[in-house]
Structure 1
Amino acid sequence: MALADVIHMPEYRSPQLEQGYTRIANELLEAITLAPFSQNQYKVILTVWRMTYGFNKQSDQLALSQIMARTGMKKPQASLAVSQLIEMRVLLADEGRHARVLSLNKVYSKWSSEVRVVLSSWGSEIQNHTVMESVTEGSESQNSKVLESGTTKDKPKTHTQKTSPKEHLSRSLRERFEIFWTAYPRKKSKAKAEKAFAKLNPDEQLMTALMAGLTQAMTSEQWANPQFIPYAASWLNAGGWMDEIQSAYSDDELAVIRAFNEALGERVGTVDEAGFVEARAGAIRAFLCKLAADPQAWKRYFPAVRDKVELPPHAGFDYLISPKGYGDVRGRMAIKRNPDGTRVHAEDWDKSASGIKAKAKEMGIAFDDEEPVPAIAARVRAAIEKQEHA
């Protein structure tokens, strides 16, 4: 090797607290550490910490796509882990404007029994720490110079810690911010937006993704109403560019719309399949979720409405799939009438588990005691419908 050759050593990055950090109480950290969480559940907890305590917040709106991006999990894994933590009361959830609001339940004594821990020694540790402080108080002044000389950037004093970004953007960062700010449709609280942008400090790749996400958000139905557009700082802090924005109906949602159009379109008006409405898509998903115990129920619902129910003048697709509309229609179906106007007493075989099983035996439908009752009822209804159309 020639003497003039230069060996380039790899550059190692050393994260510093000045670039931001997440504060967490030691007691809560120990409770999390001792609890028997799965790997995916730990990942979700750490993500919630990062997006809440990491920004000095108690809670934050977190879309599932954000959790997936920060944990590397697939959608089913992330969704399951979040649901499990909410069920175990480790995470508290509430409805937000743009996504579900998540926060950590710090009262770990209220977690479900499967993960609840008892820190029996925590109180004595605090007491011992207090005693040690009082014992060493006199000697601390003598050793203060020695202790101060040992302080490093990795262990700064608590009162000097800073979590806010630099208030002045560099030239290149300011140019990128101005591009973002020019495109962002809600021009409010620019100073806060600058701070959020500086904390994010996007490189070229992230800036491209950020602007692409902004462009997609601006075409969504939700942002069509200016009052529902979040402040730029909130959108940046929540990682809004990573949110999944639906722009067309899914196959399941289209199937429900087509079933309605076929059964009731001529009577009350059809629904445009191509005209995507975000709120309507969400209502369809909620409707299907309500009928989850009988996955084929929605296929029978619209023909039954057509044949058995006198609809009010305002009734349409959105009304029929809404909780109120569905409840009203079910109530009207329960009161069947003869041609002369007198009531017909409907069969009550589906009002109890014993009645459902008795009806199945009557129709020769085999089942075992391990089979869910709703599934038996669904097969009985299908058999009855087949007989009626035979």
Structure 2
Amino acid sequence: MANPQLENGYTSIANEILDNLCKLSLNGTELKVVICIFRYTFGFRRKSHKLSASFIARWGNCDVRAVKRALKKLQEDKIIICVNSEMRGVTSELMFNKNYEQWIPTSGQNVTSGQIVTSGQNVTGAVVKSSPDQCHFDHTRKEKLKEKSKEKYYDDFFEKLWKEYPKKKGKSAVSKKAKKVLYEEGESVVLEAIKAYKAEIQENGTEEKYILHGSTFFNGRWRDYIKEHKSKPVPEKPSEEPEQPIDYSNVERKW
């Protein structure tokens, strides 16, 4: 019976990468190539590694020609990077491009005659050129994906804050704009504001019914509990008075 254990090795990948990778329309071979790169880079705590098309094909149990096409496509879409692309006659050193904002998502291929295409089949026919409207649609779609991705970060960030707040009421009333502001302000600042408000409740013995709803606090009142970091006044240097000349007229002379 198979019994995989983390002690025998694992691949650490940020959830943010997986979230955005799954939004791409990758075919099976392209996905295998990406996973293989994950396995031999992130899986060994390194950014890049030399991987040949034949090795990836054996590892992923797929056709080497399909792997070569996938490698070319993934590089064109800026999903993977060949570090030593300028060198000829050497094994490609590949790395995954973590900056998903540079990726170029492409829409699915158009297939005529109502045929279902499976891996290994070649489709022939006229090349369908993208119209200006289609290009505009792709650009708009990309912008929407980026916007949705940002909203997800704001929501995930807000969930952390919500867990720390004492009166969890009105969660749905917290606006997207407010969540964005909270995210931009930073976790440490907002958590400090929550902590300060909790301390005030404890100190004043505030009754439950008078505690601010979560929606009220996170929609703006949290700002009232941010500590202002006042700069310490710099002590003024005492003015240096000019030395007075010594009067020797009254000094008794002894000789």
What TM bracket, shorter-length normalisation?
0.3 to 0.5
Larger relative contact order, structure 1 or 2 (CA cutoff 8 Å, min sep 6): 2
Quick check: which one's helix share is greater?
1
State which structure, 1 or 2, has the greater radius of gyration over its C-alpha atoms: 2
